[in-house]
Amino acid sequence: MLPGQGQQGPVITGRSTQASKLQQARRVTSQAASVGPTTLATHVRTGYKRIQEFLRTSKQFGAQRQASAKRAAGIALDNLARTAGYADPIRLEWAMEATAVADLAAGPVGVKVDEVTVSLGFDGLGQPDLSVTRAG
């Protein structure tokens, strides 16, 4: 039997655990890099969507947990805005929301399912215009 091994296998020391965590981090990083190049804009858009989804899903919890989730999301938005080069998180939100509705600038967007068509657009004053029509 080798030193450091008991009856059931090797004994993991603090140093071995740190080394395995480092190896795992390198493996995850290399896998992420192999996915393909991602731009900063893609990273920021994805991060913003995840933060907003986190906030949306946190509404199902109690008041204290919602407050803590809101605080965490605020910190995450601050960090994301700083990384993306925005002066503050409000400007980041404006930019992300503008890109989210950019397809509506060209005109109404519609979806048809069976006999029902739903379209969303903006009127001349910038107010949302939602219409639902049924064929027949």
Instruction: Name which of 11-20, 43-52, 69-78, 124-133 the model is least confident about.
Output: 11-20
Instruction: Quote the CA–CA distance of 79 and 48 in Å, as a whole number.
Output: 11
In order, the DSSP letters of 39-53 are -HHHHHHHHHHHHHH
Is the CB of residue 23 less than 8 Å from the CB of residue 17? no
pLDDT at 21: 66
Q: What is the pLDDT of residue 41?
A: 85
The model carries a pTM of 0.58
Domain ranges, ordered by start, for the chain: 38-100, 104-134
Burial of residue 66, with CB atoms counted within 10 A of its CB: 0-12 exposed, 13-18 middle, 19 or more buried: middle
Helices and strands of the chain, counted as H and E runs: 4, 5
The pLDDT tens digits of the residues spanning 48-81 come to 999 999 999 999 999 999 999 999 999 999 999 9
Contacts of 81 (CB under 8 A, 6+ apart): 87, 88, 89, 91, 92
